Chain A
Amino acid sequence: QVLLQQWGAGLLKPSETLSLTCAVSGGSFSDYSWTFIRQPPGKGLEWIGDLHHSGSTNHNPSLKSRVTISMDTSKNQFSLKLSSVTAADTAIYYCARVGGIAPPPRRRSYLDYWGQGILVTVAS
């Protein structure tokens, strides 16, 4: 059974850097891509970015260049850093595994395993 366990600081001040880590167990780490999703309290889901097993990343332009996603393959972990946070970044942050069928360009992806979510609150 694949498990994603997340941790990170739950309370930040404006302008600080959000830092979350997701540890993967029970399955292959190097064969998959990984992603972060967030959800402001009471609102919908927003894709933050992803990390391919090659090490390449993509991120949501709405977050400008504040996002860094990285991995430590020796520990089967991947991490999110979001700099210069404001109250608008208050949300539950999820990590998830990106599964898929067919190779590019016909790839269809999906998020099949999720972490438990962490509420990150930004307040002065």
Chain B
Amino acid sequence: AIQMTQSPSSLSASVGDRVTITCRASQYIRDNLGWYQQKPGKAPKLLIYAAASLQSGVPSRFSGSGSATDFTLTISSLQPEDFATYYCLQDYTYPWTFGQGTKVEIK
């Protein structure tokens, strides 16, 4: 199975900060990568699909980039409601695999 490695595992940031989370695949996955946000006690929410496409209704401060094996999720100006855990998911080949998650906490 393809291993998805996210970094960092956690980070502390302040409102207004620019935040970057990376996801590295153990092998080529084209641009078959999505990013999901999960808040405590809630189901994950789709933010980005196909590496860089913003899901309808998601604020434009979220953006994704990358292809092949290296991908990035950027939050341009962190808002209070963005404190959550973020996961990447590759859908290039079965079994689909998630990164281990990045917890974004308040500094």
* Pairing of A with B: yes
Query: Which chain A residues have a beta carbon within 8 Å of chain B's beta carbons?
Result: 37, 44-47, 50, 58-62, 94, 96, 99, 101, 108-112, 114-117
Q: 23 pairs across A/B with beta carbons < 8 Å?
A: A45-B36, A45-B38, A45-B87, A45-B101, A47-B97, A47-B98, A58-B95, A60-B95, A61-B95, A99-B49, A101-B50, A109-B49, A110-B34, A110-B46, A110-B49, A110-B50, A110-B91, A111-B34, A111-B44, A111-B46, A112-B46, A115-B43, A116-B43
Contacts of B55 in A (CB 8 A): 110, 112
Q: How far is the CB of B93 from chain A (nearest CB, A)?
A: 10
Distance between Cα atoms of A62 and B99 in the complex (Å)? 16
Q: Tell me what chain A mostly uses at the interface: helix, strand, loop, or mixed.
A: strand
Q: How far is the CB of B49 from chain A (nearest CB, A)?
A: 4
Return the contact of A94 from the options B43, B91, B97, B99 (Cβ within 8 A).
Answer: B43
Binary per-residue interface labels of chain B (10-36) against chain A in the complex, 1 for a CB within 8 Å, 0 otherwise: 000000000000000000000110101
Pick the 7 closest A-B CB pairs, nearest first: A110-B49, A114-B43, A108-B50, A47-B96, A109-B91, A60-B95, A45-B98
